[in-house]
Amino acid sequence: MLVDNEKCIGCTLCTQDCIVSDIEMRDGKAFIKNESCISCGHCIAICPKNAVSTNHYDMNEVKEFDKDTFSITPENLMNFIKFRRSTRLFKNKEVENEKLEKILEAGRFTQTGSNMQDVSYVVIKDKLQELRKLVLETLNDLGNKLLTGSSTADYIKNYAKMWIKMYNDFLENPDGEDKLFFKASALIIVKSPSYVNGSLASSNMELMVNALGLGTYFSGFLARAAVANPKINEFLGLKEGENLVTCMVIGYPRVTYKRTVPRKEISVEWI
């Protein structure tokens, strides 16, 4: 991290905002020691004179705050959150790579603990059917094992029967009904050593999905199959120490929702 002494006015805002106390004042100017710095960029963002820069990242990405384009009312944000729906009915229309890149960008700029930026992604389009076959084979094997288990709960057996039927339907007609990915045109796999960092990125990415007029849902079936079959993690390129955090199934929705839905009362304690 670098400070332009010609621009620095010695306001001390960067020293106050530095979470790792890596900035001190020297001769009335900010000085970044770069000893404990985690390159979070708070000093870049807070400086009133744009005196701080970095050679770690592309400074051309930095945008000056503009109220008209950076602000959203609390009411609009709340309505946007309330209106999102998990989508499982998709059009036979491919999602453009440009839109997928915007979704990934929303994940890229999501905060991570200690600025680790340890979230990575896999976009699946061309090999979607290959992954579908692998997941359905795994769920079928898992379903058969669960049905023979004496301690398997009834609701789990219902899932087991569903998985077996999904696999048999796939064998009969691979291009027929799809209860796994619902004929969506793309998946985005979110990977990270940290479930928190990956989940935060996924949440922001979902908001971007909806802002782009697309639909998504998080596939729990794929995540369940990946736990049972290491070949799925190998297919997705998971490295040692990485977790498969979410699988976002993405496409153009062929349904239009007209209103929000109710929720049960919030459970909260004020202490």
CATH of domain 2-61: 3.30.70.20
Q: What local confidence, expressed as pLDDT, does residue 208 receive?
A: 98
* pLDDT band, residue 150 (cuts 50/70/90): confident
Is 90 exceeded by the pLDDT of residue 48? yes
CA proximity to 183, closest of 254, 118, 135, 266 = 254
Domain with CATH 3.40.109.10 in the chain: 83-271
Q: pLDDT tens digits for 166-213?
A: 999 999 999 999 999 999 999 999 999 999 999 999 999 999 999 999
Q: pLDDT tens digits for 6-29?
A: 999 999 999 999 999 999 999 999
Q: What local confidence, expressed as pLDDT, does residue 149 receive?
A: 82
* CA distances, 213 to each of 100, 148, 167, 250, 267 (Å): 12, 44, 31, 11, 32
Can you list the positions of beta strands (E) in the chain? 2-3, 23-26, 29-32, 52-53, 120-124, 186-192, 215-218, 243-251
Q: Domain 83-271 adopts which CATH fold?
A: NADH Oxidase (3.40.109)
Is 90 exceeded by the pLDDT of residue 132? yes
**Beta carbons of 143 and 163 less than 8 angstroms apart:** yes
Is 90 exceeded by the pLDDT of residue 218? yes
Q: What local confidence, expressed as pLDDT, does residue 169 receive?
A: 96
Q: Is 133 helix (H, G, I), strand (E, B) or coil?
A: helix
Domain with CATH 3.30.70.20 in the chain: 2-61
